[in-house]
Structure 1
Amino acid sequence: MRKTFLAAVVVSLVVAAPGPARGDGPVAALTPTAIDGYLRKAADSTGLPGMSAVVTHRDRVVHATGLGRDASGRPVTADTPMRVASVSKSFTAAAVMTLVDEGRVVLDRPVATYLPEFRMADPRAARITVRQLLNQTSGLSDRTVDIGATQRATTLAGYLAALRPGTLAGEPGARWEYCNVNYDVAARLVEVVDGRDFPVAMRERVFGRLGMAGSAVGDRVVRPADGFVSVYGAWVPRTELPGFRGGAGGVVTTASDLGRWLISQAGYGPPVVTPGSLAVLHEPPRGADYAMGWGEEVVAGRKLLVHSGNLFTYTAVQAVDPATGFGFAVLTNSASLHDDTYDVLLGLVALADGRRPTTPGGGRQTTELILALTALTAVGLGILGVRRSGRWARRRAGRAGWWTALRLVGVLVPVAVFATYPQWVSFLMNGRAVTWAQLTYFPVPLTITLAVAAVAGLATAAARLTRLRSVGSAR
């Protein structure tokens, strides 16, 4: 999945054109030096404050490294902990499959078989299978459950309790819909069947088996520094938005640890699951391109397994090439309207494939420049509208009231757009829950621009009404 949560929509709204592809000279062999050279160019062109990356091939780490600094001023290295958001889903799915390998869970049995507490107002929820949870075909949807209530939960048991008044958006197994609830329910399943808290179960079943000592669920054991958001091109440190961190987005890890994970996902090194279960994890249902925390994408004619994640001040992406045994991951301690991690990853894939990588960059800068110019234009039009409100009122004095009202409604359109901002973004995201607080993180340049346009429209309308009344009184 190239984009997650809100990024896919907001980028489409602001014409986020990527920077021009630039060849970097002759193709270099895939060595640590070549990877470092490419990543330095990528860091310079994207302007990312901090970035770490890892490339693996079959049973070895080709290179893991870090560049830039965190919000506390410390250098970012391959061992700097970062949140990976929805990349966590592939780890949760692997934990479930370890229980399948032990015969304690059967994928095609209902979730309620293992979680009697999983009850909803919709009786169809009793038919949701474990496989449907992991493939995101359960019918669960942000549109039909109280996401706000789930985010206020402090435990996975409390999270499931918050789901009880909810319903399904469709028949279990009928269609795919990306919904974090699937993976938080899966985390509770792991917790109950394993008999240990989910973070402990993950440590023992996944992280521990691979020697991922710098990884954990939640930030009590491994705590990342605060990250950054981009505000009209400037990186501003922000404290991460509070919220529930479970099976859908709770993993904190490092580039070094992801190297061990990618080797395992390519079928080499210490196994987390059996080869058969690994194949199940990577195989989408017929007619779909999403399989248990991995999405299929074709890059330069090759089918890659990919998943990205965004958690407001962190962005990450991972990919595995089953045909060649290569693995890639890019992590940043920042978030913006343009996903630079995916562009950087494409360059690493090209380098591994013997192709000339292009230097990413320009997408974020171009997008935010357009938004800044739009905001400045709105300010100018607002000032002009207020200053000319007297002339406007005199011209319309005595005219039909409906015509004057129509002209006022026109300048209030930005107000209506801003007032319903979370709702229409949610609509464009197929019902994904969106809050005002979330819109003050990586979409903040768009949020500010819409707010400025709304204020300009409101000021113009207020000035015109005031002048219109004055003209009417004078007559």
Structure 2
Amino acid sequence: MAVSVTGHRINLACRIRQARLLQTVEVDNDQWLVGVYVQFMPVTPDTPTGPLDAGHWQQRLDELRVKHGVPGAQLGILRLDAHGAEDEILTVASGVLSARAGWAATPDSVWQIGSITKVWTATVIMQLVDEGHFTLETPVKEIITDLTLGDPDVAEKLTVWHLLTHTSGIDGDIMTDTGRGDDALAKYVAALDTVQQNHPLGATWSYCNSGYIMLGRIIEVVTGRTWDAAIKEKLFTPLGLATATTLPEEAIVFAHSVGHFAGGENPVPASTWAIPRSSGPAGGINASTAEVLAFARMHMLGGVAADGTRVLSAESTAAMAALQTDCPEKILLGDSWGLGWMRALWDGRRVLGHDGNVVGQCAFLRIVPEAGVAVSLNTNIASAPDLYLDVFEEVLAEVAGVRMPARFNPSGDVEVDMTPYVGRYGRTSVAHEVLAADSGPKMTTEYSGAIAKMIAAKDQVDDLYPTATPGLFGVRPGGMESTYPVTFYSLPTGERYLHFGARANPRKA
């Protein structure tokens, strides 16, 4: 087909998903359509078209869950109908919600989705931008007027954009429990007054829970409601989510998953269930895969819910998915970040997503906008990333025609001078030491504070596997099957960092 765009004629190999009259809107191909919004679903030769096979995916989830020793898992697959007819959605579950209680996992069970919550918090922030309360460039101090940070200059210059893009430099894993009251977020942000910077404001990218908790506080200040109430009113209700919750007393009335930690053939149930209320905006939502996919579908349709309700403007939806900042390490999650969304390029196609890890539960969400496909996986063991890789490789290949990148798995058969890397690196709650041992390079990891208790972390020593890329190593933390990247780099101003687990760890003197 061809479309006339501001006087130009553009040939598009695609089908129209839907069209709506608007004034002006930006679409995925970066062209501007004046007067009408058309959502395109490109047609490529390798785009699968057969119906989703529930029996097949039930069998594969059963087999892969057992293979990886995961107590329970819930898988959801969404495929938009390119003709605008009924979309396909499939949800299956396998195993148990609790190894101790033996409750069967079902497609309707509720799981902790952890940090996927951040994209929901970012969405509410963008709703407030749509409503004109502030812009991305607004200094946070203009909203939270009593904001005090360890670095006074950062407190003055920090913007909403810095928080959304994980570029604030504020230590990201300050998980202070400030109680169960409605003032939990206010108390948390007040307690950041002594927290130091891991890197200069805007200088690099480092995953930051603290920043998203601060975004939750911004939501509270602007709406006059708690974050919990605001997320329900502005997202759960318009999306029609009946079992999504943010508080443990709400989730307990539904069949809910319990976290576990590896224990050989007998996974160990977590001793606690919920994260502190103060951490809610960074990881506090409980939901099923079907509800996660309802949220994903809204973003895939330009901010519109299944019933046609406008939840987020098309412009803000596009901005959330657009490139905002590059990541210094592009293997673990993605090559860049949007506003809340992780961005990756797999098999030549842009992929959006986010992961969640909290109290022995792991969740994964990936969207392939070009294929109209979203996949959600909820699990209840901390070692689930190995299961994620197997499941998503199969699902995305068969449903979206997308091959995930080859797994990062360096052999270590590379001679590397460790002198530039040896030393201590760390943040408030995590410390690493890189050693040049006779048996090969090592990295020690020591956890402390609330984060150590939350993830039941134990200090460990792991082998580092050098690669042919200068400054890039692999590590299998705690004996996991998957290999994670460890990247050493420096800022233009000379500061040196070890980037691991999506965090920038500054080198210590």
Q: Under TM normalisation by the shorter chain, which class is it? A: 0.5 to 0.7
Q: 1:80 aligns with which of 102, 106, 109?
A: 109
Q: 1:133 aligns with which of 163, 169, 176?
A: 163
- In structure 2, relative to structure 1, the CA distance for the partners of 1:425 and 1:265 (3 Å cut) is farther
Are the equivalent residues in 1 in contact too, given 2:248–2:274 (CA < 8 A)? no
Aligned-partner Cα distance in 1 for 2:260–2:323: 34
Aligned residue for 2:78?
56
Alignment length (residue pairs): 360
- In structure 2, relative to structure 1, the CA distance for the partners of 1:332 and 1:158 (3 Å cut) is same
- In structure 2, relative to structure 1, the CA distance for the partners of 1:354 and 1:296 (3 Å cut) is closer
Are the equivalent residues in 2 in contact too, given 1:84–1:251 (CA < 8 A)? yes
Aligned-partner Cα distance in 2 for 1:428–1:210: 45
Q: 1:314 aligns with which of 331, 354, 361?
A: 361
The amino acid across from 2:373 in the alignment is: F
Paired-residue identity, % = 26
Structure 1 residues 326-354: Cα deviation after superposition (integer angstroms, max 9, x where no partner): 11100012222754224322321112134
Aligned residue for 1:210?
239
Aligned-partner Cα distance in 1 for 2:133–2:446: 35
> What is the DSSP-based 3-state SS (H/G/I as helix, E as strand, rest coil) of the residue aligned with 2:250?
coil
> What is the DSSP-based 3-state SS (H/G/I as helix, E as strand, rest coil) of the residue aligned with 1:296?
strand
Are the equivalent residues in 2 in contact too, given 1:95–1:190 (CA < 8 A)? yes
Aligned residue for 2:65?
43
Aligned residue for 2:22?
none
Are the equivalent residues in 1 in contact too, given 2:68–2:386 (CA < 8 A)? no
Aligned residue for 1:34?
56
Q: CA deviation at 1:441?
A: 5.5
> What is the DSSP-based 3-state SS (H/G/I as helix, E as strand, rest coil) of the residue aligned with 2:61?
helix
- In structure 2, relative to structure 1, the CA distance for the partners of 1:422 and 1:161 (3 Å cut) is closer
Aligned-partner Cα distance in 2 for 1:61–1:52: 17
Structure 1 residues 26-56: Cα deviation after superposition (integer angstroms, max 9, x where no partner): 9975333333233233223223211101111
Q: How does 1:278-427 map to 2 (within 5 A)?
A: 278-288=317-327, 289-336=336-383, 338-354=385-401, 423-424=431-432
Larger Rg: 1
Structure with a larger share of its residues in strand? 2
The amino acid across from 1:179 in the alignment is: C
Q: CA deviation at 1:61?
A: 4.1
- In structure 2, relative to structure 1, the CA distance for the partners of 1:439 and 1:81 (3 Å cut) is closer
- In structure 2, relative to structure 1, the CA distance for the partners of 1:208 and 1:437 (3 Å cut) is same
Q: 2:294 aligns with which of 239, 260, 276?
A: 260
Q: CA deviation at 1:272?
A: 2.4
> What is the DSSP-based 3-state SS (H/G/I as helix, E as strand, rest coil) of the residue aligned with 2:371?
coil
Are the equivalent residues in 2 in contact too, given 1:89–1:292 (CA < 8 A)? no
1:246 aligns with 2:280: yes
Are the equivalent residues in 1 in contact too, given 2:78–2:293 (CA < 8 A)? yes
Are the equivalent residues in 2 in contact too, given 1:53–1:64 (CA < 8 A)? yes
Q: 1:111 aligns with which of 132, 137, 140?
A: 140
Aligned residue for 2:417?
none
Are the equivalent residues in 1 in contact too, given 2:325–2:338 (CA < 8 A)? no
> Which consecutive unaligned segments of at least 5 residues does structure 1 have?
1-25, 364-420, 450-475
Are the equivalent residues in 1 in contact too, given 2:371–2:400 (CA < 8 A)? no
Are the equivalent residues in 2 in contact too, given 1:64–1:256 (CA < 8 A)? yes
Are the equivalent residues in 1 in contact too, given 2:351–2:369 (CA < 8 A)? yes
Bigger mean CA deviation after superposition, 190-199 or 238-247: 238-247
Aligned residue for 1:236?
268
Are the equivalent residues in 1 in contact too, given 2:246–2:280 (CA < 8 A)? yes
Aligned-partner Cα distance in 2 for 1:422–1:128: 24
Aligned-partner Cα distance in 2 for 1:357–1:176: 24
Bigger mean CA deviation after superposition, 332-341 or 289-298: 332-341
Are the equivalent residues in 2 in contact too, given 1:135–1:284 (CA < 8 A)? no
- In structure 2, relative to structure 1, the CA distance for the partners of 1:232 and 1:153 (3 Å cut) is same
> What is the DSSP-based 3-state SS (H/G/I as helix, E as strand, rest coil) of the residue aligned with 1:319?
strand
RMSD of equivalent CA atoms = 3.4
Q: CA deviation at 1:259?
A: 2.0
- In structure 2, relative to structure 1, the CA distance for the partners of 1:87 and 1:343 (3 Å cut) is farther
Structure 1 residues 176-218: Cα deviation after superposition (integer angstroms, max 9, x where no partner): 1111001000001001101111101000111111111211223
Are the equivalent residues in 2 in contact too, given 1:231–1:444 (CA < 8 A)? no
Bigger mean CA deviation after superposition, 229-238 or 338-347: 338-347
Q: How does 1:428-447 map to 2 (within 5 A)?
A: 436-438=452-454, 440=456
1:178 aligns with 2:195: no
Are the equivalent residues in 2 in contact too, given 1:54–1:61 (CA < 8 A)? no
Aligned-partner Cα distance in 2 for 1:331–1:209: 23
The amino acid across from 1:105 in the alignment is: F
Structure with a larger share of its residues in helix? 1
Aligned-partner Cα distance in 1 for 2:198–2:445: 15
Q: CA deviation at 1:429?
A: 8.0
Aligned-partner Cα distance in 2 for 1:43–1:70: 13
Q: 2:129 aligns with which of 90, 94, 100?
A: 100
- In structure 2, relative to structure 1, the CA distance for the partners of 1:436 and 1:178 (3 Å cut) is closer
Aligned-partner Cα distance in 1 for 2:337–2:364: 15
Aligned-partner Cα distance in 1 for 2:57–2:384: 26
TM-score normalised per structure 2 = 0.64
Specify which structure has the bigger relative contact order, considering alpha-carbon pairs within 8 angstroms and separated by 6 or more residues. Answer: 1
The amino acid across from 1:45 in the alignment is: K
- In structure 2, relative to structure 1, the CA distance for the partners of 1:98 and 1:262 (3 Å cut) is same
> Which consecutive unaligned segments of at least 5 residues does structure 2 have?
1-47, 82-86, 328-335, 410-428, 435-442, 463-476, 480-509
Aligned-partner Cα distance in 1 for 2:139–2:452: 36
